[in-house]
Amino acid sequence: MINQSQFILLVKITILAFIVGAVALPSILDIISPFWLLLFFIYWLIYSDSDRIYSAAFVLGILLDIFQGGILGQNALALLISSAFILSVKKSFFVSNLTTQQVYVFIASLMYLIVFLITHIAVQGMQIDWLVVFVPFTGAILWPVVRFLLAKLNH
Amino acid sequence: MRLFKLFVPIFLSIILIVLDARFSYLDSFKRFTLTLLSPIYLVVDLPSQVIDWINDKGSENELLVSQNDYLEGQLIELKAKLQTYNNLTLENQKLSNLLEASYLIPEHNVKLARIKSISQSRLSKKIIINKGFNDGVTLSDLIIGSDGVVGQVTEVTPMYSTVRLLSDPTQHIPVKNSRNGIRGITKGLASIDRGMILKYIPLESDIKLGDIFMTSGIGNSYPSGYSVGRVKSIDENQDPSFMTVYLEPTQNMNSLELVLIVKENND
């Protein structure tokens, strides 16, 4: 079950993640910008005691795939695997300092990127801009900002 | 139990990836969901719309603003038409030299659209325009700017359409050299250079730097006669039998605000 307040927060961060992800950026920034939905979802995940986390990750991933016009299931699969990692370190994540949290976010973003690229290469071939490897770094760097802003939104 | 809860959605995701990559069963579901999500475009575009609105209100003469918009649209439309006519003139001259043939000038319907400042997935190159199927836009319509082809409509919602740029790695366009008619198929490059590549051109082909390639109309996917790219470099070392030609789009995508949706006139 997802209780009402957690559900409302999930809806808020989903809409926000979609809006932030849709803002136009210069080409390079666009490629290296973090996986916004993952960052926002991590925030929800660490404060959530729901047992429907994987279902939520699946639905949000599918919505993102449709919104971005990508391969259906690509973001869903990546978000599920990254969420599984964050869940496995959830207790540690919750009590860690910001730097350790950034390391966890980096690893989750890296896992997301690997799954994302594998599915992309399997379906569309080796058509990749290699700047995309910087995405986990930008995700980790921007995590404190995202956490601060979402905490404000939550309260 | 927890592993089961994880593996069921993972399994579903993999099935969806395969289904989406191989078949088109899910297209109507995707279109319906995208229509539900399309208000997000409105929210993202709101700041620029507010700025436009304030600018318009601040103007002393609204008539001038609307006339300016109208003339801007007319100018871009005429420049686009001119591309076709220039190419047709060349084509006509060549044909006339060979035989007394007449050339049918293609009739295309065009519709003006504005680009919304929205970028999409990081590994694909797409833009959103403010016209959807309520305005008669359909899948595969060609999108052009004042200087050449921009891309092709890949998704349509009631109010917006997604256009895949010609420099997207999954975009293929049949083209021909405007100077001598050598044909090929362009493919977008994944780098940020926004270029295209033309492969499998026989080594002895007469292609020079600066040559313009335009849509050939083969396969009826695209109307013919619109500029696609200019030859930037030629590589004869990649393959012993073929040359690889690198093109830069004739249309500068960075300064683009208005585009035209081109449809074949079937009347």
Least CB–CB distance from B17: residue in A31, A69, A71? A71
Q: How many CB pairs under 8 A join A and B?
A: 121
Q: How far is B38 from chain A (nearest CA, A)?
A: 8
Please indicate whether the domains covering B58-165+254-264 and B172-249 agree at the CATH topology level: yes
Which pLDDT does position B56 carry in this prediction?
Answer: 67
Give the nearest chain A residue to B3 (CA atoms). Answer: A84
Chain B residues closer than 8 Å to A123 by CB:
17, 21
0.80 surpassed by pTM: no
The Cα–Cα gap between A45 and A41 comes to 6
CB contact under 8 A, A77 and B26: no
Which pLDDT does position B103 carry in this prediction?
Answer: 47
Mean pLDDT value across residues A109-123: 92
Could you report the per-residue pLDDT of B191-209, keeping only the tens digit for each? 656 688 888 888 888 888 8
Which pLDDT does position B82 carry in this prediction?
Answer: 78
Which pLDDT does position A95 carry in this prediction?
Answer: 86
For chain B, give every domain's residue range.
2-37, 58-165+254-264, 172-249
Which pLDDT does position B165 carry in this prediction?
Answer: 86
Give the nearest chain B residue to A27 (CA atoms). Answer: B192
Q: Which of A36, A44, A35, A49 is nearest to A12 (CA)?
A: A44
B58-165+254-264 CATH, one of 3.30.1330.10, 2.40.10.340, 3.30.530.20, 1.10.10.10: 2.40.10.340
Mean pLDDT value across residues A85-110: 92
- What is the rounded end-to-end Cα distance, in angstroms, of chain B? 62
Least CB–CB distance from A124: residue in B33, B170, B192? B170
What's chain A's average pLDDT? 88
Could you report the per-residue pLDDT of A12-39, keeping only the tens digit for each? 888 888 888 887 777 788 888 999 999 9
Could you report the per-residue pLDDT of A63-77, keeping only the tens digit for each? 998 888 888 899 999
ipTM: 0.90
pLDDT at A4 over 90: no
- Could you tell me how far CA A78 lies from the centroid of its own chain? 9
Q: Which of B254, B262, B251 is nearest to B113 (CA)?
A: B262
Q: Which of A137, A146, A140, A47 is nearest to A102 (CA)?
A: A140
Q: How far is A147 from chain B (nearest CA, A)?
A: 22
Residue keyed to tokens 């003139």: B89
CA A25 vs CA A28, A30, A129, B130: distances in Å: 8, 5, 16, 19
What pLDDT tens digit does each residue of chain B (267 aa) get?
677 788 899 999 999 999 888 887 788 888 888 888 888 877 877 777 777 777 766 666 677 777 788 888 888 888 887 777 777 777 777 776 666 554 455 567 788 888 876 555 667 778 888 888 888 888 888 898 888 888 889 888 888 888 888 888 888 888 988 888 888 888 888 665 668 888 888 888 888 888 999 888 777 677 888 889 999 988 887 777 888 899 988 888 777 788 889 876 654
Strand, helix or coil at B94?
helix
CB contact under 8 A, B16 and A62: yes
Q: Which residues contact A115 (CB under 8 A, 6 or more apart)?
A: A77, A78, A81, A82
In A88-117, the residues whose Cβ lies within 8 Å of chain B are none
Strand, helix or coil at A81?
helix
Q: Could you please state the CATH topology (level 3) that the domain comprising B172-249 is classified under.
A: Thrombin, subunit H (2.40.10)
